[in-house]
Amino acid sequence: MERLNTFLGRHVWAQVLLVVLLGWVVIMLMSPGEPALALLLRAAVTSVGAVAVLLVLRAREKRAAGGSGDRLADLDRRLRHGEIPSSPADRKAMLDLVEQRLHRTRHRRPALVVLWLMYALCVAAPLLLGLVRQALVCGLLGAVLLPLLTWQGGRQLRRLREARETLRKGAGGEVPAAREPVEERGPGRSSSDG
């Protein structure tokens, strides 16, 4: 999973391809019997908005990380593992990235409510129109994805807040610059020793 995360973090084209392919699979499940190429074209067209948002967010995060996709992927990996860099420049870049991501999540709760309501409408509308297959596909996707997205979003938010707190304290000299293994602290000294 780590290799996949790193690969997707470094290559935007792979993220775009993944968005289009996932959209294609969903549309194929909802519209069986239609030509696959026509459905692929429909998936590509309907994915334009998601791809545009992805590219804008990626450009902003690259700027916060110092302008490089590789640097952004490295900082993202460190954030996932709870590693705080020792270099002041890397700490500053990570703090900028964390602040940007936290700013983006400031309306998380209302957005989740709207998302859940939107999925409920996506299930109810086809049911009212007698399109049971489409309602079933949307319902199953919502039953799996919505709780997963809600849980994962909360987990990511906690990680970002912890990283921000650690990075801010570290800038004031109250916390060590980086996590150190116990062996490097010296014999008989704990992390709380001065």
Tens-digit pLDDT string for the chain (194 aa): 667 776 776 777 787 888 788 888 877 877 778 888 888 888 888 888 888 888 888 888 888 887 777 788 888 888 888 888 888 888 888 888 889 888 888 888 999 999 899 888 888 888 888 888 888 888 888 889 899 989 988 988 998 898 899 888 865 544 444 443 333 334 444 444 43
- How many other CB atoms are there within 10 angstroms of residue 190's CB atom? 8
CB-count exposure of residue 74 (10 Å: 0-12, 13-18, 19+): buried
What is d(CA 163, CA 184) in angstroms, rounded to the nearest whole number? 22
What is d(CA 40, CA 25) in angstroms, rounded to the nearest whole number? 9
Distances (CA, A) of 159 to 22, 23, 24, 42, 106: 27, 29, 32, 37, 15
Cβ proximity of 39 and 12 under 8 Å:
no
